[in-house]
Amino acid sequence: MLAQSCPECGSPLMKVGDDIYCATCNRRVVYAKEGTASVAEDSTELAELRRTLTDKLRTVNSQLEQETDIEVLTKLTNLMVLLLRALRELSKI
Ligand SMILES: [Zn+2]
């Protein structure tokens, strides 16, 4: 158990590996740079977000294959980069 308490419910926090958990909320607690703690988003929500992003990437990919217009291709490629970036950021949470 740690000295810190959960920002949501005030229960003592537990350290599991590199992660800090609140057993009461059953959630991971993250610390922002300013030192303020916040409860991480529910992992199932994150998994769903990841699925959505992956689905969109698949859609963009199939559109890219058929597209010949340079302007549309540019837009699709930019979108793909954004989606990939979002996925990468997601994996850091
Ligand atoms: Zn809590």
Greater pLDDT, 24 or 32:
24
State how far the Cα of 6 lies from the Cα of 28, in Å rounded to an integer: 10
- The predicted-structure confidence for 62-86, as pLDDT tens digits, reads as follows 999 999 999 999 999 999 999 999 9
- What's the gap between Cα 66 and its chain centre? 30
- pLDDT for 37-65, tens place per residue? 666 656 677 778 888 999 999 999 999 99
Which pLDDT value is given to residue 74? 96
Q: How far is the CA of 21 from the centre of ligand 1 (A)?
A: 8
> 46: CA distance to ligand 1 center in Å?
19
Distance 59 CA to ligand 1 centre (A): 38
- Could you write out the DSSP letters of every residue in 52-78? HHHHHHHHHHHHHHH---HHHHHHHHH
pLDDT at 17 over 60: yes
pTM given for the model: 0.52
Q: What is the reported pLDDT for 59?
A: 94
pLDDT of the residue at 19: 81
Give me the pLDDT at residue 75, please: 95
